Amino acid sequence: MVPVFGVISPHPPIMVPGVGGARSSVTADSLSALSRARAALVGFHPEMLIVMSPHAPAFSDAFVVDDSEYFAGDLSQFGDSTTFRWPGDPTFAKELTAELNAAGIPVVARSEAPRLRGEGLDHATIVPLSFLEPTGTVPIVVLSLSFLDYAEHHRVGELVRLCAERLGRRAAFIASGDLSHRLTPDAPAGYSPSATLLDEAIVGCVRSGELGRLADIDPALIEAGGECGLRSFIALAGYCGTPHVPTRVLAYEGPWGVGYLTALVGDAAVKPTPAATQRSHGLKGGMPGQPEAEIVALARHAIELYVRHGEVMATAVLQNSEYAASAGSFVSLHRNNELRGCIGTIVPTRESLALEVTGNAIEAATRDPRFPPLSADELDDLEIKVDVLHEAESCSLADLDPERYGVIVSSGWRRGLLLPALEGVDDVETQVRIALAKAGIGSGEPCAFERFQVDRYT
């Protein structure tokens, strides 16, 4: 049996640094989630990737299997002329085409469709792969979706799995797709009050592991919401092959009025990976060789052990009783007064604060998608700051103070956080505007506010 490894990935070109530049930071949650998905995929060691793309060259009444030997494309229409390349797997593509034909499913091999020849990779394939497989070494096969019914898409996923097993391919299935395009009044496809309901339904099915229920969502809700990824997700459900599958939602956000979901799907994707105090309100952090808080020293040790030796600390303990037993935390890294990485958790996700901090420290050093992984040469002047979050409390705008309190804004399950005392965030209006953008909440939408304090250690 081929292990099941699937990824649900958004595909906005603006996430790619060469397109979005500084604007890509608005999708920080998705970028961080794709970085974690990439780490899981590397650990899986796939022999090939199957990508179902809603924007690949397609026919309305048939699926297209791209049997190219090599793939190339760019995002020049969005402002980035960098060429992305991956090898193909024509043997798998031809086997799959034959399998679909035998099952009576309308299918066209791209090499047999003259009008589809000559087109490069589409953006809904390039964007996920640029984060999940940036080396350009793992072979890919690209599938288009069609306007055939959901049952046909589910069956395609089943036959992709069957084909992988028959050929002995250790494959991963990447379901590219965005959710509703109508979340806010300024959304590219206009606003619909049904958009949030549609995204709640899709995320709920994925979170529960019942991907088969995606096909049962009210068609009127789907039409009103204006999604582009549902058929890809249903094909992934077919690939998984069981009514219930382990899943892990890594991020959902809705900047620019479009819903972006990132999730890991399948047993192989969600299995666990190996896993005297000084306070400061400074904006940077402690330096090596200088007195620093125990919690910062712990973060530094975790980073150095991982960067120098590729090892995760076997045990992590904080001796000082001042620290909370368990809490969310953020680890921020700076070099030469410039940000070098920042990853954190709003609420506890590990058994202890010590494990929370060491885990976030390694993530900040190696998996912040805005930066390359930290090298050993950068450790000697690395500044580290650790924020330990207090429990959040409901509040109004009048209760906020960006120097003293961080803010959490939420509308339904959409949620955005901004830490307190950040450089350049000098007033409540700026703090709330950034947090709303991170959550994908429009400025006119109703939302709830929470505030929290932090213990900041250097």
346-357 pLDDT, tens per residue? 888 888 999 999
Contact criterion met (CB below 8 Å) for 13 and 84: no
6-270 belongs to which CATH class? alpha beta
Give the chain's mean pLDDT: 90
Q: What is the pLDDT of residue 279?
A: 36
Residue 253 backbone phi and psi in degrees, to 5:
-150, 165
Mean pLDDT of the region 378-389: 94
* pLDDT tier for residue 280 given thresholds of 50, 70 and 90: very low
**Least reliable range by pLDDT among 88-97, 437-446, 447-456:** 437-446
Q: What is the pLDDT of residue 104?
A: 97
Given a cut of 60, is residue 288 above it in pLDDT?
no
Mean pLDDT of the region 88-98: 97
Which fold, 393-457? Dna Ligase; domain 1 (3.30.1490)
365 or 277, higher pLDDT? 365
Return d(Cα 448, Cα 453) in angstroms, integer: 17
Q: Where in the chain is the domain with CATH 3.40.830.10?
A: 6-270
Q: Is the pTM of this model over 0.75?
A: no
Given a cut of 90, is residue 22 above it in pLDDT?
no
Query: Residues 46, 50, 52, CA angle at the centre, nearest 5°?
Result: 150
Q: What is the pLDDT of residue 121?
A: 95
Q: What is the pLDDT of residue 272?
A: 44
Given a cut of 80, is residue 302 above it in pLDDT?
yes
Q: Where in the chain is the domain with CATH 3.30.700.20?
A: 294-389
Given a cut of 60, is residue 68 above it in pLDDT?
yes
Q: What is the pLDDT of residue 281?
A: 35
| Strand ranges in 288-337 using DSSP code E only, listed in sequence order | 329-335
Name the 3-class secondary structure at 423: coil
163-204 pLDDT, tens per residue? 999 999 999 999 999 999 999 998 888 999 999 999 999 999
Quick one: tokens of 112? 């047999």
pLDDT above 90: percentage of residues in the chain = 66
Nearest CA to 359 among 390, 386, 324? 386
Most confident of 34-48, 236-250, 334-348: 236-250
Contacts of residue 222, defined as CB under 8 A and 6 or more positions apart, other chains included, come to 198, 230
Return d(Cα 449, Cα 404) in angstroms, integer: 15
Q: Which residues are bridge partners to 53 per DSSP?
A: 144
* Class of residue 141 by CB neighbours under 10 A (exposed 0-12, middle 13-18, buried 19+): buried
Sign of the alpha-carbon dihedral angle for 193, 433, 124, 251: negative
Query: Residues 381, 387, 393, CA angle at the centre, nearest 5°?
Result: 165
Mean pLDDT of the region 284-306: 80
Amino acid at 339: L
Mean pLDDT of the region 280-306: 73
DSSP symbol at 351: S
Which helix or strand (DSSP H or E) is residue 81 part of? strand 80-87
Given a cut of 50, is residue 226 above it in pLDDT?
yes
* Start-to-end C-alpha separation, the chain: 50
Domain 294-389 sits in CATH at 3.30.700.20
Query: Residues 54, 55, 61, CA angle at the centre, nearest 5°?
Result: 70
Mean pLDDT of the region 132-138: 89
| Strand ranges in 266-352 using DSSP code E only, listed in sequence order | 329-335, 338-344
Residue written as token pair 């530094």: 300
Return d(Cα 344, Cα 357) in angstroms, integer: 8
Q: What is the pLDDT of residue 43?
A: 82
Given a cut of 70, is residue 86 above it in pLDDT?
yes
Contact criterion met (CB below 8 Å) for 288 and 379: yes
Cα atoms in the 13 Å half-sphere on the side-chain side of 252 = 22
Q: What is the pLDDT of residue 284?
A: 46
Q: What is the pLDDT of residue 289?
A: 53
Q: What is the pLDDT of residue 222?
A: 96
DSSP line for 135-202: TS-S-EEEEE--SS-HHHHHHHHHHHHHHHHHHT--EEEEEE----S-SSTTSTT---THHHHHHHHH
Mean pLDDT of the region 312-329: 88
Given a cut of 70, is residue 287 above it in pLDDT?
no
Given a cut of 50, is residue 147 above it in pLDDT?
yes
Name the 3-class secondary structure at 222: helix
